[in-house]
Amino acid sequence: MTIPCRKVLVTGAAGFIGFHLAQRLLARGDAVVGIDNLNDYYEVSLKEARLAQLTPDAHFRFIKLDLADREAMAALFAREQFDQVVNLAAQAGVRYSLKNPHAYVDSNMVGFVNVLEGCRYNGVKHLVFASSSSVYGANESMPFSVHDNVDHPLSLYAASKKAGELMAHTYAHLYGLPTTGLRFFTVYGPWYRPDMALFLFTKAMLAGAPIDVFNHGQMQRDFTYIDDIVEGVVRVLDHTATPNREWDGAQPDSGSSRAPYRIYNIGNSKPVALMEFIEALEEALGIKAIKNMLPMQPGDVPATYADVTDLVRDVGYQPATPVREGIVNFVQWYKEYYQV
């Protein structure tokens, strides 16, 4: 049995991205402790099925734990002494934030402070945390750059993610904690979340039901395949954040700092029109979608488009999986998992 090269905490390990990241870290020989509160925001059975893929590995341990539990989180960090931490646990979903705002404060802000405190007091060498393309909000400058101003969020979800970036910077500044935030752009793939469009479309189309197409189809998304996201996370995790010695307070750069703090976009940098996305799904399923055209939903944005210049420069990686290939992979998994 090989000896793990480092111990990594992955929060949200039963979630879509956390599960895939844990698999990748284990495959390269890391020891992974995964935590998740297994809430019922979507079907818990899917989260348990993901965990069942991880638990046979001797270097993986799962602990059911809520980030908002201050005492339990402090005890976890003190006991385990992690080398690195990847915080992926969060209350997700733009639209759900209109219905249950407190869930976003508890998980994305209170919970994240507990992660930051654990890192601060226990010598964590690098904290990587999930932000979101949603932070760009009302910004209409395309492609979205980490150097842009992001002070106009359009949902509480986006605001909570922006708050996380600000809190992380504070800890990098005050305590020298290397922190890197990753703004993910519309991640999709096998083991996907059931509340997301691709999953909802597939389920409806297989059942012969209509799909809801918002903004009358006039939407673009920078769809990013899960394997590309995981590759980006791992490369960033291994590239510990350092201060930007050229940072100028008179012209502050949002993507870096005098502190060991960085922000990166991880996106495919190839926005796809929603109607083209639906066409690709129709081809993969061999089914024509019945479309229910609807107006834009509150809190949503018409387009996302990632500028990944900094990611390419610093870690030498750019996501590249074509959306049609990714959709085929998702459909194959969906049919196998749900036996349809």
pLDDT digits (tens, 9 = 90+) for 194-214: 989 999 999 999 999 999 999
d(CA 225, CA 230): 9
d(CA 198, CA 285): 12
Q: What percent of the chain lies above the pLDDT cut of 70? A: 98
- pLDDT for 106 beyond 90: no
Q: How far is CA 182 from CA 92, 107, 128, 138, 278, in A?
A: 15, 17, 7, 19, 27
Stretch 61-72: mean pLDDT: 97
| Least confident among 128-132, 136-140, 189-193, 260-264 | 136-140
Coil, helix or strand at residue 263: strand
- pLDDT for 217 beyond 90: no
How high is the pLDDT of residue 2? 53
Q: Is the dihedral of CA 328, 200, 22, 340 positive or negative?
A: negative
Residues β-bridged to residue 212: 292
From 136, 157, 225, 264, the catalytic residue: 157
188 is catalytic: no
Answer whether 306's CB lies under 8 Å from 178's CB: no
* pLDDT-based confidence at residue 1 (cuts at 50, 70, 90): very low
Dump pLDDT digits (tens) for 122-170.
Answer: 999 999 999 999 999 988 888 999 999 899 998 888 999 999 999 999 9
- pLDDT for 248 beyond 80: yes
- pLDDT for 3 beyond 80: no
Phi/psi-derived region of residue 214, left when phi > 0, alpha when psi is between -120 and 50, beta in every other case: beta
Which residue from 80, 65, 75 is spatially nearest to 31, judged by alpha carbons? 80
Give the pair of three-digit tokens for residue 12. Answer: 């949200």
How high is the pLDDT of residue 303? 82
Can you say how many angstroms the Cα of residue 256 is from the centroid of all Cα atoms in its chain?
20
Q: Is the dihedral of CA 140, 141, 147, 148 positive or negative?
A: negative
| Per-chain mean pLDDT for the chain | 94
